[in-house]
């Protein structure tokens, strides 16, 4: 995607999540890189990752294969942000947060072997991330 268009859309149509992302990433500002015009920040805490517009935060302690795949996946969320604009927080962000953390869904995934990436928010992020970056998502 064209760099100018990416930033223009992130800071106009998708502004709400980018404001949130900017403030969340201040904690991780010393460990970051560019990835297809987005900014990836790394953490080593006890959680995986989150995307808020062009601001992505992922766990750097989970291995190279996981990192490579999650970069593409989280970038897919960044593209969802552009597509949905201010609706992203309600259509993707909140459902994804619930799917990831609610005890009921954690139990479902563990006991029934349901893939985390089978939920619409995650499946769509994988598709968009792979489609645009031309990189695989291995999950």
Domain count, the chain: 1
Closest Cα to residue 14, out of 54, 60, 41, 62? 54
For tokens 């904690």, the residue is: 27
Residues paired with residue 39 on neighbouring β-strands, in sequence order: 34, 55
50-83 pLDDT per residue, tens:
999 999 999 999 989 999 999 999 999 999 999 9
Domain that holds residue 68: 3-133
84-100 pLDDT per residue, tens:
999 999 999 999 999 99
Would you say residue 112 lies in a domain?
Answer: yes
* Banded pLDDT at 138 (limits 50, 70, 90): confident
Would you say residue 43 lies in a domain?
Answer: yes
Would you say residue 138 lies in a domain?
Answer: no
Whether residue 1 is predicted with pLDDT greater than 80 in this model: the reply is no
* Banded pLDDT at 19 (limits 50, 70, 90): very high
């Amino acid at each position: 995607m064209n760099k100018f268009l990416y930033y223009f859309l992130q800071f106009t149509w998708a502004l709400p999540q980018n404001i949130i992302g900017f403030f969340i990433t201040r904690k991780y500002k010393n460990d970051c890189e560019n990835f297809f015009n987005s900014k990836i920040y790394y953490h080593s805490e006890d959680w995986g990752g989150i995307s808020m517009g062009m601001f992505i935060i992922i766990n750097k302690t989970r291995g190279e294969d996981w990192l490579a795949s999650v970069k593409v996946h989280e970038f897919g969320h960044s593209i969802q942000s552009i597509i949905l604009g201010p609706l992203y927080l309600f259509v993707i962000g909140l459902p994804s947060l619930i799917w990831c953390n609610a005890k009921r869904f954690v139990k479902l995934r563990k006991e029934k072997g349901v893939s985390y990436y089978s939920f619409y928010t995650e499946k769509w992020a994988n598709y968009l991330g792979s489609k645009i970056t031309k990189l695989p998502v291995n999950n």
